[in-house]
Amino acid sequence: MMATAFFGYTLPWGQMSFWGATVITNLFSAIPGVGDSIVTWLWGGFTVGDQTLNRFHSLHHLLPFVIVAVVGLHLVALHRFGSNNPTGVDTKDVGDTIPFHPYYTVKDLFGLAVLFLFFSWFLFYEPNALLNPDNYIRANPAVTPAHIVPEWYLLPYYAILRAIPNKLAGVTAMLTSILVLFALPWLDTSPVRSGRFRPMFKVFYWLLVADCVLLTYAGGEPPEGTWLIMSRIGAVYYFVHFFLVLPLVARIERPRPLPTSISQAVLPATGSG
């Protein structure tokens, strides 16, 4: 998904497209020994150019099909193991379940309507709010923009990348910050699956949200002075959260008592249901 979005962003071929492509492909040059050769190979030349744009265009169309395939795998897994729910307690009998239609169809349509409203507001009233004005200037290899920043949803990772002065260490930290999400089941070993019954986890969860907001903001600012210090604090806390806080909280926290079943948690104790 992130790669697709990156390849898409290069396609308008404005200044941010060109220089974004240059910065991101250059990350591979941090690989010791073969880095520079890999970058030339990715570019298909000695700079980002027509060949690069051409292959990025193909990849931008190809990768969404890979995403669709992964969505398919996700559905297979869902059918096999069932879905989680806000209580984190497994279903025990039919009393714990409701039919998909009309309950989920209506709930999802409502969610979709809210999303479309939000989306339409940007589309019709603020189409430029999340765009970078530099991308309205045609790609020009001779002029480097003063501040090269990616789209807003990539900013936290960009902040982590720039928080470290050493290129290889910065790239490694950025990759780790994404890959660590795949290791969550092994890092958070709490037997309780829902944050609702985990008072300590809840506090740290909101701290992580605040940390990501900070990193998003810092990632969009020039990497100097206060913002550089903020990026560094934010980056350190990000890793502390995943590698230290989660395993420790899982070990020392005393979760609140779990409901015996989903229906017990959601139906009124005295009700007839």
- Give the binding site for ligand HEM (CB under 6 A): 1, 4-5, 8-9, 11-12, 60-61, 64, 67
Q: Which residues pair with 138 in a beta bridge?
A: 14
User: Minimum Å distance from CB 234 to ligand HEM?
Assistant: 24
Q: Which two tokens stand for residue 108?
A: 């999802």
User: Minimum Å distance from CB 65 to ligand HEM?
Assistant: 8
**Residue with Cβ nearer ligand HEM (67 or 203):** 67
H helices of 82-166, in order, are 105-125, 155-163
43 residue type, one letter: W
User: Minimum Å distance from CB 73 to ligand HEM?
Assistant: 16
**Alpha-carbon distance values, 235 to 28, 93, 174 (Å):** 21, 44, 9
Residue 83: active-site member: yes
For the chain, what is the total number of helices (H) and then of strands (E)?
Answer: 12, 0
**Angle at the Cα of 191 (from 82 to 234), degrees rounded to 5?**
100
The SS3 assignment for 138 reads strand
Residue whose C-beta lies closest to ligand HEM: 8
Residue 126: active-site member: no
Residue 79: active-site member: yes
**Residue with Cβ nearer ligand HEM (6 or 238):** 6
Is residue 158 a contact partner of residue 132, using CB atoms and an 8 Å limit?
A: no
| Nearest-angstrom CA–CA distance, 141 and 162 | 22
Residue 107: active-site member: yes
Q: Which one is catalytic: 92, 108, 126, 147?
A: 108
Q: Which one is catalytic: 83, 93, 101, 224?
A: 83
User: Minimum Å distance from CB 150 to ligand HEM?
Assistant: 10
Is residue 223 a contact partner of residue 160, using CB atoms and an 8 Å limit?
A: no
User: Minimum Å distance from CB 61 to ligand HEM?
Assistant: 4
Residue 147: active-site member: no
**Residue with Cβ nearer ligand HEM (12 or 49):** 12
Is residue 264 a contact partner of residue 255, using CB atoms and an 8 Å limit?
A: no
Active site residues: 79, 83, 107-108, 151
